[in-house]
Amino acid sequence: MIGEIAILLFPFNSINIVFVLSALLNCITEEDVFIKSFFSMLKSEFGGYNSNSFSKDLLAGITVAAVALPLALAFGVSSGATAAAGLVTAIIAGIVIGGLSGGSYQISGPTGAMSAILIALVAKHGLQGVFIACFLSGIILIAAGILKFGNLISFIPMPVITGFTSGIAIIIAIGQIDNITGFTASGENEIEKIGSYFTTAQQFSVASFIIGIAVIAFMFLYPKKLSKYCPSSLAAIILVTAANAVFSFSVKPVGSIPQTVLLSERLNITSINLTQLKDFLVPAVSIAALGMIESLLCGASAGRMKNEKLNAGTELFAQGLGNMLLPFFGGVPATAAIARTSVAIKSGGKTRLTSIIHSVILLLSMFVLAPVMSQIPLSALAGVLMVTAWRMNEWEAIRNIFRMKFISAMLQFSITMLATVIFDLTIAILIGIILSVAIFIINVSDVQISVADVDKEKLCGKRYCRHYDNTTVAYIVGPLYFGTASKLGERLSSAAQKDILILSLRGVPFADLSGVQALEELCKKLREENTEVYFAGVQPKVMELFRRCGILNEIGEDNFFWSADKALTYIADRQSAA
């Protein structure tokens, strides 16, 4: 099993591609948990399904197709491929990934985030490079599902995801400047592309600019009440294409849309040089990582909307299988899309048939409307993507982060966003996570010590009050480890000014050898100064470490109490008896 997973993760070490596929199929067969959970899911999903349910799926599928059509064309172009590639991706993903999804509501297809990765990949390796990386990412996603990596998504902090999303939105917006203005950018990253606008001669296209701005304005001004009948993006595309047909603007159109789902430019497996597959491993990991993040976040968000939990393992398997198949049709990598998924839920979609129906509608559109779609101005699609990029930002979350001045969240968001724009998307996520871990360690590593005198009246009225005048209670909150060991002695030495010191450790979740030794040295010093030391509220794990280190015997088990008030009562009783 482990050997097969290794082959899947490092396919360039295998003898041939057939061996990789064989290992993958064997791996899937062994993990029949996918099959069992999938059919169990279908049984629950389609229990009591009737004509009324189908009518809701049908209407929701038509609505989602209306939203997906312009986005599929736009994302196909923005990825560096073609509009046809985006459309084919939406069709195949809707059927395969949607049909095998880990939830009844997921709608998959080309997305803006994925397009941001593919631009650089197309520029460096061409479409065949995209197809190879997409195929490998599918293998990685299936392996991730089998190994239950889907749970890792919960460890990514929300500010990092928000920054990541905003960074992708910036990349998408920058990528549309050429189509809106007529400029031609050059460079491997967004910084270089922006710089090229100022260092090379550019030719401005007035017609493209006017169309792009008109689409943007139209989409922002479009009445929300009309969106349930016709999405703003589709309405804008229809109007601009009609105007272009009448006035023949001097703008670049989308170009030919083949009336087939088997595009001429697709993965040719016989042309793959296995010795060069390692060059595509990093892009494949980036695609797989982004696909996993987007799909699972979409599933978590949509699952709350529909009150249905996503099966992460099944979802990753579906995403992996879909992305393995897409290159053979000429499609680009796909992932679940929150915009289309939320539309499906809000439109009343009941089951995964909504996704399949939306693909059938898109397929019919390809056969019927291909000549019309080929005349859509690229600047119009660029306008749609500009608005999409703007709406991708989680503005409410961003406002909360900065309005409430959460410094750590502001750093996580800003650095992740900048890293996404400047570096590879996978590196950006890693930078965000590493930064989050560092901030977390800094925040939790400090030990807080507060010293309080005994409130005699509150604890025992007038009885024994005289015995508490020389008693201090020190409340310790935070970990006792090598990072706080030196602070412990400094703070408690100055705090212990009386004859009796009670150390309340209920707020100490864990300790290490350095922290315990520092505490032991402090106790010895205080006892030499005739200060009695008692412990209260020691957590079981910390108590076990005390026992192993000998501090329990040193202090005496009689000096350990469940709470500070129990220790105070013991002290009062003992001194009263004396």
Residues 6 or more apart whose CB falls under 8 angstroms from that of 457 comprise: 465
**Would residue 489 count as lying in a domain?**
yes
What is the pLDDT at residue 469? 65
Calpha distance 167→305 (Å, rounded) = 26
pLDDT of residue 497: 61
As a whole number, mean pLDDT of residues 26-37 equals 59
* Residue 30 within a domain: no
Least confident of 189-198, 297-306, 369-378: 189-198
Using one digit for the tens of pLDDT, what is the confidence trace for 516-529? 888 888 888 888 88
Indicate if 343 and 483 belong to the same structural domain: no
Residue 532's DSSP bridge partners are 500
Residue 16 is assigned to a structural domain of this protein = no
* Residue 570: alpha-carbon gap to chain centroid: 53
Concatenate the DSSP letters of all residues of 55-123 into one string: HHHHHHHHHHHHHHHHHHHHHHHHTTS-HHHHHHHHHHHHHHHHHH-SSSS--EE--HHHHHHHHHHHH
Do residue 453 and residue 565 come from a single domain?
yes
Show which of 392, 407, 438 is a domain's final residue. 392
Q: Please say if the pLDDT value at position 13 is more than 50.
A: no
| pLDDT interval class at 499 (50, 70, 90) | confident
Sequence-separated (6 or more) residues with CB below 8 Å from residue 414: 163
pLDDT given at position 193: 80
269 and 130 assigned to the same domain: yes
Domains identified in the chain, total number:
2
pLDDT, tens digit, 9 for 90 and up, residues 283-295: 899 899 889 988 9
Quick check: pTM over 0.85? no
Phi first, then psi: give them for residue 548, nearest 5 degrees. Answer: -70, -30
The pLDDT assigned to 513 comes to 83
Average pLDDT of span 220-232 = 89
CB 188 within 8 A of CB 120: yes
Altogether, the residues listed in the chain come to a count of 578
pLDDT in tens, 168-189: 889 888 888 999 998 887 776 6
Banded model confidence at residue 165, pLDDT cuts 50, 70, 90: confident
> Can you give the pLDDT at residue 46?
92
Is pLDDT above 50 for 7?
no
**Do 236 and 376 form a contact (C-beta atoms < 8 A)?**
no
CB contact at 8 A, 238 and 225: no
As a whole number of angstroms, the distance between CA 484 and CA 65 comes to 58
- Is pLDDT at 458 greater than 70 in this prediction? no
Residue 261: closest CA among 179, 330, 193, 346: 330
Q: How sure is the predictor about 132, in pLDDT bands with cuts at 50, 70 and 90?
A: very high
Q: Is residue 179 part of a domain?
A: no
Q: Where is pLDDT greater, at 519 or 55?
A: 55
Whether the predicted pLDDT of 8 surpasses 50: no
CB-based contacts of 481-486 (< 8 A; 24+ apart in sequence):
481/445, 481/510, 481/511, 481/512, 481/514, 481/515, 482/512, 482/514, 482/515, 483/445, 484/445, 484/446, 484/447, 484/515, 485/514, 485/515, 485/517, 485/518, 486/518
Q: Residue 539's domain is classified under what CATH number?
A: 3.30.750.24
Same domain, 309 and 456: no
* Shared domain check, 331 and 229: yes
Residue range 64-81: average pLDDT?
Answer: 91
Same domain, 348 and 454: no
pLDDT at 17: 47
H or E element: which one contains 293?
helix 281-306
Q: What are phi and psi of 535, to 5 degrees?
A: -115, 145
Q: Give residues with Cβ within 8 angstroms of 185, minimum separation 6.
A: 177, 178, 193, 194, 196, 197
Compute the half-sphere exposure of residue 88: CA atoms within 13 Å on the CB side of its CA.
Answer: 26
Tell me the pLDDT band of 514, cut-offs 50, 70 and 90.
confident
Can you say how many angstroms the Cα of residue 470 is from the centroid of all Cα atoms in its chain? 55
User: In percent, how much of the chain has pLDDT > 70?
Assistant: 87
User: Helix, strand or coil for residue 48?
Assistant: coil
- pLDDT of amino acid 14: 41
Asked whether the beta carbons of 288 and 145 are under 8 A apart, the reply is no
Which contiguous run of DSSP H or E holds residue 500? strand 500-507
Mean pLDDT of 239-246: 94
pLDDT(98) > 90: yes
The residue type found at 75 is F
- 386 and 460 both lie in a single domain: no
Instruction: Say if residue 570 is exposed, middle or buried (CB neighbours under 10 Å; 0-12, 13-18, 19+).
Output: middle
Residues 339 and 464 in one domain: no
pLDDT in tens, 392-416: 888 999 999 999 888 888 999 999 8
Return d(Cα 450, Cα 313) in angstroms, integer: 47
Residue 569: band (very low, low, confident or very high) from pLDDT cuts 50, 70, 90: confident
Alpha-carbon distance of 82 to 75, in angstroms, equals: 9
Q: Please list, residue by residue across 144-165, b when 16 or more beta carbons sit within 10 angstroms of its beta carbon and e when fewer do.
A: bbbeebbebbeebbebbbbbbb
pLDDT of amino acid 456: 58
Q: Which of residues 350, 365, 392 is at a domain's end?
A: 392
Q: pLDDT exceeding 90 applies to what percent of the chain?
A: 37
Residue 398 lies in a domain: no
Q: Which helix (H) or strand (E) holds 548?
A: helix 540-549
pLDDT of 575 reads 67
Over residues 350-408, the pLDDT tens digits come to: 999 999 999 999 999 999 999 999 999 999 999 998 998 898 888 999 999 999 888 88
Predicted local confidence at residue 323, as pLDDT: 96
Across the chain, mean pLDDT equals: 84
* Dist. CA 291–CA 141, nearest whole Å: 8
- Per the DSSP assignment, residues forming a β-bridge with 477 are 448, 507
CA distance linking residue 152 with residue 459, whole number of Å: 48
**5 belongs to a structural domain:** no
Which of 62-76, 365-379, 490-504 shows the lowest mean pLDDT across its residues?
490-504
Nearest-angstrom CA–CA distance, 192 and 187: 5
Rank 447-451, 474-478, 498-502 by mean pLDDT and report only the highest.
474-478
Residue 26 placed within a domain? no
Q: What is the distance, to the nearest Å, from the Cα of residue 359 to the centroid of all Cα atoms in its chain?
A: 26
- 6 located within any domain: no
Over 80: is that where the pLDDT of 70 sits? Answer: yes
Supply angle C-alpha 103, 107, 109, rounded to 5: 135
Q: What is the pLDDT of residue 442?
A: 73
pLDDT score at 30? 45
Q: Which residue did the predictor score with more confidence, 211 or 22?
A: 211
Which range of residues forms the domain containing residue 71?
A: 48-173+217-392
| pLDDT higher than threshold 60 for residue 3 | no
* Model confidence band, residue 459 (pLDDT cutoffs 50, 70, 90): low
For residue 395, the model assigns a pLDDT of: 92
Of 350, 369, 392, at which residue does a domain stop?
Answer: 392
36 by DSSP, 3-state: which? Answer: helix
> Is pLDDT at 15 greater than 50 in this prediction?
no
Least confident of 71-75, 81-85, 525-529: 525-529
Task: Clarify whether residues 266 and 167 are in a common domain.
Answer: yes
Report residue 531 as tokens.
């200060």
Question: What number of other Cβ atoms are within 10 A of residue 247's Cβ?
Answer: 9
Q: Give CA 374 to chain center in angstroms.
A: 35
C-alpha span between 285 and 279 (Å, rounded): 11
Predicted pLDDT at 9 = 41
Same domain for 549 and 484, yes or no, is: yes
The residue whose two tokens read 């001097």 is: 250
Residue that has been written with the tokens 């004396």 in this structure: 578
Q: Is the separation of the CB atoms in 431 and 156 below 8 Å?
A: no
Rounded to whole angstroms, the Cα distance separating 114 from 74 reads 12
Same domain, 266 and 359: yes
Query: Does 90 have pLDDT greater than 90?
Result: yes
Residues 278 and 151 in one domain: yes
Q: For residue 195, name the pLDDT band (cuts at 50, 70, 90).
A: confident
Rounded CA-CA distance 288/316 in Å is 10
